[in-house]
Structure 1
Amino acid sequence: MSEAQRLDVTETDALREELRKLRRINASLMDRVERSSDMSANAFSMFETAISLEAMVRERTSQLEDALGQLAKANSDLAAAHSSADAAQMRLRDAIESINEGFVLFDADDRLVLFNEAYLGFWPELSPHMREGMEFSEIAHLAAQHERPLGAVVAPDRWVSERLAKHGIADGGHVQALCDGRWVQINELRTSEGGIVGIYTDITEVKAEDARARALELAERNLVLQSTLDTLSEGVCMFDSAGRLSAWNGALGHLLGLGDDPARALACHGDLLDWCRKGMGMEDHGCLDWRQDQGHVSQLCPAGDRRFEIRSTRTGQGGQVFSFTDVTDMLTAQASLRETAETLERRVSERTAELLSVNARLGQEVAERRTIEAALTQAKIAAEKANLSKTSFLAAASHDLLQPLNAACLFVAALGDKRLALPTRALVSQTATALESVEDLLEALLEISRLDAGAIQPEISHFRIDQLLQTLNVEFTPTARAAGLQLRMETEPLWVESDVRLLRRILQNFVSNAIRYTASGSVRVTCGVEGDQVRVAVIDTGRGIDSSQQEMIFEEFRRLDTRSQGKGLGLAIVRRAADMLGHRIWLHSAPGEGSTFAITLPLGRPVAASEGDGVTAPRDRSMQGRRVLVVDNERQIQSGMRTLLGGWGCQVATAGDYGEAVRLFPEDERPDIILADYHLNDGETGDRVIAQLQAHFGAAIPAVMISADRGEELKTQLAASGTPLLNKPVKPAQLRALLRTMLP
């Protein structure tokens, strides 16, 4: 109702009240006149009274006519206002009926004022009971009685209480689920008069679309999860919070003998326990039990003649994940390796005893040399044979000798940095040269011992010989120029089949000897095809070698010119490497005619450019300039490792933990190898630091673990990850040999 209508009603009521008062006054006057007539018969008095009453009646009648005129006008205005209000109300009803959403209006007393058909569409059972003037609480109870909202089906009283509370707040929207599957969004707001207007919107399609999107997303996630599980070699099964099997992979059925469909045998967690413990006889030590605590459990469990590593992890949703890894073969291999190591140790002990026995015999033969010439010859032959048996001993001794030798080189280098008199500085320089010569000698001895012991295995590949010869040309041209010689390479793009690293060593010795023993002239390298072979020859213009000495020069420590700086080991290395590869060595020389050293190689086949490029560059196993990262929490050990590795030519960086190690290298740099102690500060371990560093640098950097822990658990853990382990105290020779094999 509008303000004008309310004013008209108020004015009409006032006029009616005034008319009622006038009628009461008129009735009183008439009654008084009648009583006066009864009490006095005086005609004059009655006349006066009649005149007075007539005047009063006339006056009151005039006032009554004015009031009636105003009342008629008010009624007319009120009728017009009612007509306008009815038209406005009709237009309002038409407007709210035209909208798709349900519309409802309650006054300040929370009584129903207005609603549309769309609103009744949400409550079709309530339509016969709906009427204007109903309180909202009546409508809520009717909806609960007819179980229209889904919440009212389970707990009608609670639903009514919650609905009345939300209606009383009326500060926004909320969503209700109906029992017929529809969803309605209710938005209620207060009007300026204190009433409540509500808009009811059907969002069933929106909800359905959202459910479909969520279902699709869940299906995609399940597909990704299943694909990930299927790629694992470990058997994996996942149970939900109720212990039901929710995910698994094909490897699970293979490892546990469940067939292609593990879900048929393992419907719940209890089935898994029964199958593993009773069906397989597995001793899981409680690893398969359902746990309430968070975290990760790992256990090695026997099952008959097989061994499984079982990992159990609790999920955030209250479920549990189990993974099974068959480590039977790995444990068998470890046992075999231990047995092999014990056999090797026993053989070394036996060989050592044999060496001691041979040495004893040699001493006896030397004592008898003065009396028996024939015994002397036999003793010499026996000594030479015994020398061949000492190859493994020589290899170990060479490693151990290199450590104090490197320390001596460090001391001499430190002495050379001081201010010294010229004669003293010359002595220091000569000492450094002598130590370098001894180190070269030990390195050559080590290489010979590795060849004899079979520590170097040939890696046969197909590559172009001209590319290898070109690298030698770059390497030896400065040396030849310094000696006043001309070095020429006459090459052809021929493919050969050999070990590129060993062949490079052979040709290096040929060219090096030719330059060393040629006083003037030239050194020429040629290659050509001879049948199904490729012949590579190094021809010099030196003084030549007599035929009686040509076989001798391939023995250890044999030099024709004792004034040269050679050690007499280069050609010995050539013979051993050639024998290992099955290549034939040729020597043609005569005094005054120079010498020709040649080797014949099998013809190779062309390979792809990438493959060929990869094999033509031989691997340089020198540690000069190698960047080594040492992670140890003891500063003294850092200093010792820095001194030791620095003496080998490495660039050493030391750190106490992961954070310190990362700060040592710029973004575009990384170490060539990592040496990490296992037990670090604050419970941090070396394997975790290695994994973090490899992830930080974005590459699988070679790594060595160093630890005083000699337990089998640590060995098994590192063997599984392929990380070598050195026990403290670290032997420098052992460390150096390991670095040589790991560095590319």
Structure 2
Amino acid sequence: MATRALQPPTDAERIAALEAEIGKLKRINAALMDRVERSTDLQGNAFSLFETAISLEGKVRERTLDLERALDALASSNAALATAKEAADDAQRRLRDAIESINEGFAIFDADDRLVLCNRTYLGLWPNIADRIVPGMGFDEIARLIGQDGTTLGALVAPDRWVSERVAQHRVAEGGHVHALADGRWIQINELRTSEGGIVGVYTDITQVKADDARERTLELAEKTAILQATLDNIRLGVCVYDADRKLIAWNGPLLATIGLPADGMPLVMTHDGLVATCERINGPMQADRPLDWLPPGSADMVTQRRHTDGRTVEVRRSSMSGGGMVMSFEDITERLRAAEVLREANESLERRVLQRTADIAAVNARLQREVAEREAAEAAMRSAKTAAEEANLSKTRFLAAASHDLLQPLNAARLFVAALGDRRLALPTRALVRQTGSALDSVEDLLEALLEISRLDAGSIVAEPVDLALDELLESMRAEFAPIARARGLSFRIEPSGHWVRSDSRLLRRMLQNLISNALRYTTEGGVEVTCVTTGRDLTIQVADTGIGIAAVDHQRIFEEFQRVGETGRDRGIGLGLAIVQRASKMLDHPVSLDSAPGKGSRFGVTVPLATARDARQQLATPLRRGQLARRRILVIDNDQSILDGMEAMLEGWGCEVRSATDAASAMAALGADRPDVIVADYHLDNGATGDAAIADARAHCGVEVPAVVITADRTPELREALSARGLHLLTKPVKPAQLRALLTRLATG
């Protein structure tokens, strides 16, 4: 068994022991003296008295020596105590100096919750009551003084409640909490309990942090507002948003036309009451279901139809917002209802015919030949219905192509004008505005391209064409595309060569890698992105790893859905379609996609593709472009949109070209005269059903030579691309990228 070590006595214990020993000696001395006196009185013997005195003297000498030793020990103890007190005073002075030197407010409370020590920074937080805060005060007294003075915003609103909540926070003393001061400052209070039961509090001024956070939130809100407005302006429904005070806060271009107002009618609908009154005055009285009435918060979405006095029918959708506002959308469904009515009448007619036919069959059931004839007639009707359905599907495809053309036409014109401005000498502020406009157009283009690509993948318009391809060529193009972006963001970007061939559709596989690398760069602020290849058996996995924010396991499936974003960085936010495209392309190609990620540990996406037999690959290097190669080249531009012609003319003339513009084949002949163009650029969809390839054929016949030609269109179907390629025509899709157009024109004009 271990022996417990004896603890040395303290100074106070040693002094008490010495005092007890001195008292004992005094009592012994008194007893001896009393004994001597009594012996003298009783016996009167001088020798006995002398003998007693000698003995007493020896004992007194011994006790005196013991007393001197005790006094020496007491003096040493007092000296050590003085030294210890001096050291304690020095330590306390250094502690006070250290506390005063820190920037944060500092306060210590003992186990009875009374103030022991604080610094001037702590007192500076409460300037009006600083002179009344002294050591020994209880925390609840200090809290009441602050509440009565109204130093914090909470104390200004409800002093008693603020005091009770603050005292409760102080007693818990776990973690930190934030308070707003009445003078506009913000402080963060961190309180922890000491081993002796006291509490240490650190008061940090976080006003600047709060201001920075407010600015960041303002910028993020502005970006969201811009994206929302761009989205609203690019849909065909009329949309308006009212706040909780029923005031208009957002709308889009088609709104006024849909509800029947002129272009200058916006002041009439700035409030919800104004909208209702204006619609009643222009479109007639409200129906019994009140399709424009206000919806209280929490109400279910309402979809109603309103018939206007001009014969139109408008579908009204209302949705309440959590903050008390309401979103309304208006869609003219007149044509849709008319088509539905025609279809209903056709169905009723068909039902009547079927009933009549069934009755005829029942009446002459005995005649087998009649029954066979009826069955053949039914089969013919089914074939006719199938043909009609296929024609309807083809009509829908043509409608989508035409709609995408109309949607991309103004965007194409805007890009051309911005490119023309960028080639001119401009003041720095103006150049910055041009660059920002170009960036905004890029965002709109990315959104439209992603939406169109999603729709084509879902509709099966894109067909995978797997071929054997050299993976390093594809990875090298990724390096050329994203290395400047990574360098501009201060990130490392490394692609490891594989030396393998794989079997895949090069266009779809490229799109998948573009989206994965773009996402990795977007959500990485430090470190970098690395692309590596790992072979397993007869498969190869292309891995895109980053050191970004990471993704929680619960979000691993959700991020592959449309318009889903996780962990915004606030730098360049995506639209939430990249991974949805990756998922669809993965299923089409049968290339499994894997994900390994956790918050704070980055992400690693993988695309597994089958290996192919390696063979010699020849690098086809494009001829570098040289400035001035298009100077004095004659370009014929044919487009039915005058804004496109103006933008194209401004951009091409900025490149030094001589431009001839026309809206159709006839005006193109007049614009050329006897001259021959070096290149013809024509839009595919012209007026009155004319097409750009036909206009190019007429222009070539006029010139007598096969002039190089480019067709620009929003139709991305493979059938059109193959048809134009068969006629020796080059194809660019809208919106046209100026650099891509310039490279193609340079190759055609100088080749």
TM bracket, shorter-chain basis: 0.3 to 0.5
TM-score normalised by length of structure 2: 0.40
TM-score normalised by length of structure 1: 0.40
Higher Cα Rg, which structure? 1
